[in-house]
Structure 1
């Protein structure tokens, strides 16, 4: 506790540690930390038991100004609801108006506090402290995470209150500030789910779910926090391409302060009057949004959701997981096969359920018959057709995965002078459209082929600075992952796909607001989607060696272990179904795969370009 704090002495205020087994308050027989003394020797916060609750101590009587600053910063990292203890370090007027939820700044090592103006002796009436540190990230008022860099430098102003003569803060920093280890202990990432607003499946009555990650406080009723954030609507970045089935203004009923599943893991959610007139279909979509969002928030999960009107009556019947999956496209179909290019430059496949890595065979159709030698391929998400890039990278073919199907002429050609200046590995989205980048230096572009055929559509990428080196579409069709090369640097970006008004066909398809999601890496060499809001990447930091890691689409690092190390990785392939093995092409080992809880297993030495459908 407090390991992040690097400045000032620990002059009194500390936090009380309470095991969850002891309840929400400190009870007789439960151990606690002493209420005074130095904490410099205490173990770093990430090593704490996840069931431990941490509570701050209120200001000590007649505490000096430096002690008030330390106590306030400690209280920001505690598990108090609404930061009640932190407010006790503020003047009464400021405590009422301070909005800790407005923002959160994460620092590498926690805030360093130093006194700018002496607080003097008993007669001094004010003091100013500076808070400094190296910024790692910010979390905005919507609880959306963004990587950040540069220096944090804010001031705290303290006054000695006239009546009580106690030091209190009358000018706190905006929002909350804490170190990275305290942030990881206090907050957890949760995917909220909305629906793609311009998806072709909408007309078929099946909206496509899109993940929108936020961070919530782990020990302060995360379920109610998450539901409230879901009802409030999507993040600013995702909002232009998604919709919510909850009517605008829908919120929890006014007197609802806590949501808890019953012993059957059913959650009842009372809503305000804004949702009273929602029809059955919309109500089911709303319940599906909640189910998908809350699925992994508790150890046992939420199995069903029941929505209530403002008068307490049932809005629609309880929705369970199987019904939700029927009503909404949440995950891609279970991938039947893993694919790669064999030593004969054919597209081959291996059954995902197979335990024998050598039981692969050529795919049906021309792409598996060796009619054209291939360097890379992409398989549609329904596994009915595939696209293949010729061995020299100049031509793109699309063929059916049906025995006897012919290949035909290439659907796209690149005039790049070298293989590295020609076509990237293509990628299919959930709409059945095919995406590929032409790396020709004289005409670099990102292209879309509707249903993998027809005249290629050039995608507007004016927000990108550099040449696209790799393309991976998310299954939802509204997000795209790109490796962008500029000079000697290769960076990973995630962009929002805006398709414009399909009816008018006026607005071009564009990649909008691309954001860097692995800014610490100077060279990203491979990446793949590995979940609804997660990617797996291979890259290296400045002066470092190649490493493999998971990253979130918001730029944060998910909690948990990274994939087992593997040298010389050139290509990665993973499924949005996180239960399926990770695949890779290594110069040293060929095609390999990583099963959960196992080591890398060689599939075949002479093979390249592994892919999952997509």
Structure 2
């Protein structure tokens, strides 16, 4: 996707393909012309078509002004004498008008359906033009469309692979001599080029189930309406996204509900009024946890700076709480581990040194090294026997598991080392124990090639890259990590696709809510990307023949290896750092 640097084109009627118009502009002009959409007069800092593969693409950070003046889409109401097919097409086009609870779209429905239709059930993000055709019975129509993503009623966005389609059926009847829709599926459709103009990502936060000192992001997408703060709190009260499962928990009990119909925002303060039976106002620790969770969530809502929480019509008292402030993003040391002349080596700031007193297997061919958060235990793939080993200073190497095309080991903060391979089997073993440990239940990964598996720094999520069969296209998943009472991993919850049908072999965390990806071992230029967990991404500068990528603390600490050399991402280019060490990784 190219950077959105032009002003949005005025929507109007059009017959052919005007000279100089891009395919995306032509498609949207035809779409609007057929439905006589009202011209849009706002100039944005960013617009443009999304790529064919992958999720929503972030290109330019919004300015404060652009956030305050988000584009208002004004779809055309039904015209007198419109044909039944024009009514269906007009209704579909009105899905971009989220204002006033989709009041324009409801005008295409019969009075009865207009009161029961649920637009927020789902949003289908489509590419190309929907195709609507009549069915055998008069007044019945079917619309087919190709989609690149689907937004659920809970605000979770799931990327869809190229070629994914949906079919929508409609029944129309005459109301006062005009065609109106009497039967339609819940939800709306939105062109992928318009999605980010209509919806905003808002990050909900839940506590790590095994360590309440950590907050875990749960990104959702909501329409840009004044009700965004209400939607965020209602979603928070409903619990975490399904793909997180029991990996996270909430300080807000399921019995809690909003006392009022909305969460108003005035002067930057969101007023949250909850009803909660059996709430003890003297329990300041629990009150602090609820308040902290709400604050972390609502501060990701535009124009919200503070939160005023009341429970059962009384202000919540949090002073005197012994609960510490929860951490939202775990950092890693600046030191990396890499390979230097087939030995494990530390690297930092242009300097490298062999890790002392480490014994490697005889005849080992070292690749894809990793290390624990304390930099005292290390892991690597031995290409000579296709086995993952761990090793510590002064100890013999410990054989962990074998497989084909083994992933780089990943250490979590609970002392477990993880990995997978082409079979889709997920392994985890306590790094301080001996033996191979056990496998982690992840049936949804069966028959898929796991190209990369990285555990998030707080330990509650896995970032997984998979391919299916002989396909070179990949899917990037986020999945919750379920553990038993001792902290041992027992399950990877079925993941949610953050990106689908992308050219990716590895994904590496750079924070709690961002990661970088790239394709590996290509003859030509690889196209690394920086993703948010909400599905947005930026293109990073290309790197020829990249063999590995490493992510530290944020986008200023991204390293790539190519042709036996180590480079660091510096602005719009890659700067050579070392010819002595390669294949590096940060702790984790």
Offset at residue 407 of structure 1 (A): 2.5
Which residue in 2 is equivalent to 1:583? 559
Q: Do the aligned residues in 1 keep the contact of 2:155 with 2:220 (CA within 8 Å)?
A: yes
The answer to whether the 8 A contact 1:10-1:70 is kept is no
Residues 479-490 of structure 1 correspond to what in structure 2 (within 5 A)? 479-484=461-466, 487-489=469-471
1:470 maps to 2:491: no
The C-alpha deviation readout for 1:154-176, integer Å capped at 9, x for no partner, is 22222221xx3233221223211
Q: Deviation of residue 281 (structure 1)?
A: 1.7
- Equivalents in 1 of 2:425, 2:156: separation in Å? 31
Alignment of 1:537 onto 2:517: yes
| Structure 2 equivalent of residue 378 of structure 1 | 370
- Contact 2:373–2:587 (8 Å) recurs in 1: yes
Contact map agreement 2:172 2:182 (CA 8 A) in 1: yes
- CA 277–60 in structure 1, closer or farther in 2 if over 3 Å, else same: farther
Deviations 1:119-167 (A, max 9, x none): xxxxxxx633332211222212212122335332222222221xx3233
Q: Per-residue CA shift, 1:265-289, capped at 9, x if unaligned?
A: 5544222235843632222222222
- Residue of structure 1 equivalent to 2:433: 453
CA contact (8 A) 1:362 1:368 kept: no
1:10 paired to 2:10:
no
Deviation at 1:395, TM superposition (A): 5.9
TM-score, normalising length from structure 2? Answer: 0.79
**Alpha carbons of structure 1 residues 436 and 154: separation in structure 2 relative to 1, 3 Å:** closer
Change (3 A) 1:414 1:134: closer
User: Offset of 1:484 from its aligned partner?
Assistant: 4.3
Q: Which residue of 2 aligns with 1:32?
A: none
* Match for residue 418 of structure 2 among 435, 439, 453: 435
Partners in 1 of 2:129 and 2:265 — Cα distance?
Answer: 33
Identify the residue that residue 262 of structure 2 maps to in structure 1: 256
1:321-374 Cα shifts (integer Å, max 9, x gaps):
xx99x42132113533344333462321215xxxxxx2x242765359999985
CA drift at 1:469:
4.2
Q: Which whole-Å CA distance do the structure 2 matches of 1:485 and 1:53 have between them?
A: 39
Secondary structure of the 1:602 match is strand
Cα separation, 2, equivalents of 1:598 and 1:194: 35
- Are the counterparts in 1 of residues 251 and 289 from structure 2 also a CA contact under 8 Å? yes
- Residue 607 of structure 1 and its aligned partner are, at CA, apart by 2.1
CA contact (8 A) 1:287 1:307 kept: yes
Matched, 1:306 2:308: yes
Q: Match for residue 539 of structure 2?
A: 562
* Separation in structure 1 between the aligned mates of residue 501 and residue 98 of structure 2, nearest angstrom: 30
1:462-501 deviations in Å (ceiling 9; x for gaps): 4322454433111232322334466534644536455453
Shift of 1:601: 1.0
Aligned position for 1:509: 490
Q: Shift in Å at residue 55 of structure 1?
A: 2.4
The Cα of 1:309 is off from its aligned counterpart by 1.6
Deviation of the 1:437 alpha carbon: 3.9
Tell me what 1:350 maps to: 348
Query: How far is the alpha carbon of 1:598 from its aligned partner?
Result: 4.0
1:183 positional shift: 1.8
Separation in 1 of the partners of 2:159 and 2:100? 26
In 1, the alpha carbon distance for the partners of 2:365 and 2:165 equals 53
Q: What is the CA distance between 1:257 and its match in structure 2? A: 4.8
Q: Which residue of 1 aligns with 2:334?
A: 336
- Of 541, 561, 574, 1:600 maps to 574
Deviation of 1:536 after TM superposition, in Å, equals 2.0
Instruction: Say yes or no: does 1:209 pair with 2:211.
Output: no
Distance (Å, rounded) in 2 between the aligned partners of 1:284 and 1:582:
36
Displacement of 1:77 after TM fit? 0.3
- CA shift at 1:245, angstroms? 0.6
Q: TM-score, normalization: structure 1?
A: 0.76
Instruction: Select 1:160's aligned residue among 154, 169, 174.
Output: 174
| Equivalent residue number for residue 550 of structure 2 | 573
User: Greater relative contact order (Cα 8 A, min sep 6): structure 1 or 2?
Assistant: 2
> Which residue number in structure 1 is paired with residue 56 of structure 2?
none
Which residue does the alignment assign to 2:233? 227
Q: SS of 2:181's equivalent?
A: strand
2:14 corresponds to? none
Cα deviation, 1:443-465, whole Å, max 9, x if unaligned, reads: x8543222443333221344322
Q: Which residue of 1 aligns with 2:527?
A: 547
Gaps spanning 5+ residues in structure 1: where?
22-42, 119-125, 352-357, 400-405
Aligned 8 A contact 1:13 1:67 in 2: no
SS of the equivalent of 2:288 reads helix
1:89 to partner: Cα distance: 1.7
Preserved CA contact (<8 Å) 1:426 1:436: yes
Q: Which residue of 1 aligns with 2:21?
A: none
Matches within 5 A, 1:23-42: none
d(CA) in 2 for partners of 1:45, 1:518 = 16
1:101 matched to 2:101? no
Alpha-carbon distance between aligned partners in 2 of 1:156 and 1:180, rounded to the nearest angstrom: 23
Relative to 1, partners in 2 of residues 1:12 and 1:152: Cα closer, same or farther, differing over 3 Å? closer
Displacement, 1:252? Answer: 2.7
SS in structure 2 at match of 1:519: strand
- The 1:54–1:438 alpha-carbon spacing in structure 2 relative to 1, beyond 3 Å, is closer
Q: How big is the alpha-carbon RMSD for the aligned residues of Structure 1 and Structure 2?
A: 3.9
The alpha-carbon distance between structure 1 residues 528 and 86, as it changes in their structure 2 partners (threshold 3 A), is: same
Is residue 55 of structure 1 aligned with residue 32 of structure 2?
no
In structure 2, what is the Cα distance between the partners aligned to 1:603 and 1:384? 24
Point out the structure with max Rg over C-alpha: 1
Contact 2:330/2:511 (CA < 8 Å) preserved in 1?
no
**Tell me, which stretches of 5 or more residues in structure 2 are unaligned?**
1-9, 12-24, 51-58
The number of residues matched between the two structures is: 539
What secondary structure is seen at the aligned counterpart in 1 of 2:485?
coil
Contact 1:159–1:169 (Cα < 8 Å) also in 2:
yes
SS in 2 for 1:284: helix
Residue 410 of structure 1 corresponds to 397
1:569 Cα deviation from its structure 2 partner: 1.2
The separation in 2 between residues aligned to 1:13 and 1:318, in whole angstroms, is 61
**What is the distance in 1 between the residues matched to 2:421 and 2:104?**
57
CA distance in 2 between counterparts of 1:147 and 1:471 reads 19
